[in-house]
């Protein structure tokens, strides 16, 4: 059985200062999102419209995918279909090998992370350089992104300074962001110039036109596909929208939800290959049709990968992205990952306080916390819960469902727990108490307090004086 979320989170929260800083940094991004959302009076109307467009697209997905393929082919692109990650990787490798490519630059693509494309290509002798700065940083570390929009958000500038000193030979101890960014720029510039092909993800595919839209803040996707003549775009089938006029709804929501910007710095449109070049679009299913077939989880495919649910999630902010052990962490990842492999990701739906904050900020109105609750029941039905949680929940149901047992448990807790030495409560057998303190136990139960109040309830004066007046 894979390590649970709580086990992996242990390593992150041991560094209390980093955990606190991670929490506050993401909350700052969430605050910027709130300000950006409030700046648009029509914000809620946009959310409703985006949700409706996505649901409509899903209902007619097969038709729109065929339309997209026809239109993209008319524009000169070559469209490929991949049922799963293995087929996706094979198609990309064959395209590169058929063109003799050994050096590839790649912009941010969570789909290729999901398919583990980089190690597959590297195994076949192809150098893959992630050109997004955050992704390049974690690639140098040999790690995956810890956040879908902010891949290196778990690292401080001092960490990056040490990494760049080791990998790019910058000055020892340097941590000035401008200096480090310039070093990365020079390093990546050389990779761009030498690249024989560019690979990108896709933010939106437009069925009506056959075009694709890629949003970045660094312009790395544009540069990566402008110099080499071969452009490969990898796109999950859920990224489709029906019409060009629908795009404005999502562009207004995406950047504001992700980082609090009015719009991403570069929203690049590609309609067919550039003159003398080739554009290959790889449409990938990899379990999406299975999720679409489920009425409980279908809405999770509406996701536009803004990361807003992660920035607001109290569990993600305090436990870090790597504790999810999944390509897409946070609340949306805790829905998508069990759909791929519920035995491996059984603990993720429980890494949630069900506060509903993720649902509140989701720009396409995915009912995230409801789906997470549904997953908990599904994990139980599949008998994938660890025994301690399984029987712990059964015990809790027995106590909460039996009146006399509930009263007895409360009485014992009030009388015994406050008298116990601290080490008997806060020890390794009580993981709940690692970062929490129990509240003060009341002397009386709620029932006892209510009974006392009713017995000592004062008589209403108004009723007494009214009675005297009438007499």
User: Which residue range(s) make up the domain with 195?
Assistant: 40-286
Closest CA to 372 of 337, 397, 396, 400: 337
Q: Across all residues in the chain, what is the average pLDDT? A: 94
Stretch 355-373: mean pLDDT, rounded? 97
DSSP state of 176: -
Note whether residue 257 is domain-resident.
yes
Q: How far apart are CA 380 and CA 101, in angstroms?
A: 48
Run of H or E including 115: none
- 22-78: pLDDT as tens digits: 999 999 999 999 999 999 999 999 999 999 999 999 999 999 999 999 999 999 999
- With 70 as the cut, is the pLDDT of residue 464 above it? no
- 248-260: pLDDT as tens digits: 999 999 999 999 9
* Same domain membership, residue 403 and residue 258: no
CB-based contact 371:29 (threshold 8 Å): no
Last residue of a domain, which of 237, 254, 286? Answer: 286
Question: Token pair of 107, please?
Answer: 């912009």
Q: Rounded to the nearest 10 degrees, how much is the dihedral formed by the CA atoms of 427, 429, 432, 434?
A: 30
- 95-119: pLDDT as tens digits: 999 999 999 999 999 999 999 999 9
Q: Per-residue confidence at 351, pLDDT binned at 50, 70, 90? A: very high
| pTM, to two decimals | 0.88
Please tell me the total count of domains within the chain.
2
- With 50 as the cut, is the pLDDT of residue 469 above it? no
- In our burial notation (b when 16+ CB lie closer than 10 A, e otherwise), range 115-154 reads bebbebbeeeebebbbbbbbbbbbbbeeebbbbbbbbbbb
CB-based contact 242:276 (threshold 8 Å): no
β-pair partners for 266: 216
Note whether residue 439 is domain-resident.
yes
CB-based contact 315:353 (threshold 8 Å): yes
Closest CA to 331 of 311, 203, 364, 343: 311
* Same domain membership, residue 393 and residue 282: no
- 151-186: pLDDT as tens digits: 999 999 999 999 999 999 999 999 999 999 999 999
Last residue of a domain, which of 263, 286, 309? Answer: 286
* Same domain membership, residue 394 and residue 261: no
Angle between helices 157-167 and 177-194 (to 10 degrees): 40
We report the CATH number of the domain holding residue 226 as 3.40.50.10420
Last residue of a domain, which of 286, 307, 336? Answer: 286
CB-based contact 201:236 (threshold 8 Å): no
């Amino acid at each position: 059985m894979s390590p649970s979320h709580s086990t992996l989170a242990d390593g992150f929260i041991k560094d209390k200062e980093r955990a606190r800083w991670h929490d506050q940094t993401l909350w700052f991004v969430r605050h910027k999102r709130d300000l950006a959302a409030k700046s648009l009076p029509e914000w809620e109307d946009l959310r409703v419209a985006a949700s409706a467009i996505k649901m409509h697209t899903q209902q007619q997905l097969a038709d729109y995918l065929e339309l997209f393929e026809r239109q993209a082919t008319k524009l000169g692109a070559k469209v490929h279909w991949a049922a799963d990650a293995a087929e996706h990787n094979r198609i990309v490798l064959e395209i590169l090998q058929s063109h003799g490519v050994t050096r590839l630059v790649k912009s941010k693509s969570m789909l290729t992370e999901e398919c583990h494309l980089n190690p597959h290509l590297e195994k076949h002798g192809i150098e893959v350089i992630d050109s997004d700065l955050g992704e390049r940083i974690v690639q140098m570390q040999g790690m995956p992104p810890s956040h879908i929009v902010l891949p290196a958000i778990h690292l401080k500038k001092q960490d990056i300074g040490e990494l760049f000193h080791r990998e790019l030979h910058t000055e020892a101890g340097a941590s000035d962001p401008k200096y480090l960014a310039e070093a990365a720029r020079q390093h990546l510039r050389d990779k761009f110039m030498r690249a024989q092909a560019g690979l990108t993800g896709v933010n939106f595919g437009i069925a009506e036109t056959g075009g694709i839209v890629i949003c970045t803040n660094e312009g790395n996707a544009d540069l990566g596909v402008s110099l080499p003549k071969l452009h490969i775009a990898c796109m999950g089938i859920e990224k489709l929208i029906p019409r060009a006029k629908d795009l404005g709804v999502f562009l207004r929501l995406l950047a504001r939800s992700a980082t609090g910007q009015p719009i991403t710095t570069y929203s690049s449109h590609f309609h067919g290959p550039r003159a003398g070049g080739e554009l290959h679009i790889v449409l990938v299913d990899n379990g999406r049709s299975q999720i679409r077939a489920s009425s409980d989880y279908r809405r999770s495919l509406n996701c536009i990968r803004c990361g807003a649910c992660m920035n607001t999630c109290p569990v993600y902010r305090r436990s870090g992205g790597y504790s999810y052990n999944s390509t897409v962490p946070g609340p949306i990842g805790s829905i998508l990952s069990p759909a791929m492999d519920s035995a491996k990701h059984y603990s993720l739906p429980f890494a949630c306080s069900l506060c509903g904050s993720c649902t509140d900020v989701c720009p396409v109105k995915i009912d995230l916390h409801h789906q997470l609750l549904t997953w908990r029941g599904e994990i139980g039905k599949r008998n994938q819960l660890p025994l301690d949680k399984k029987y712990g929940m059964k015990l809790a149901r027995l106590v909460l469902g039996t009146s006399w047992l509930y009263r007895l448990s409360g009485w014992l807790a009030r009388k015994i727990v406050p008298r116990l030495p601290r080490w008997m409560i806060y020890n390794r057998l009580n993981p709940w108490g690692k970062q929490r303190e129990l509240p003060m136990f009341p002397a009386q139960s709620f029932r006892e307090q209510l009974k006392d109040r009713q017995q000592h309830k004062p008589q209403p004066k108004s009723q007494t004086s009214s009675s005297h007046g009438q007499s």
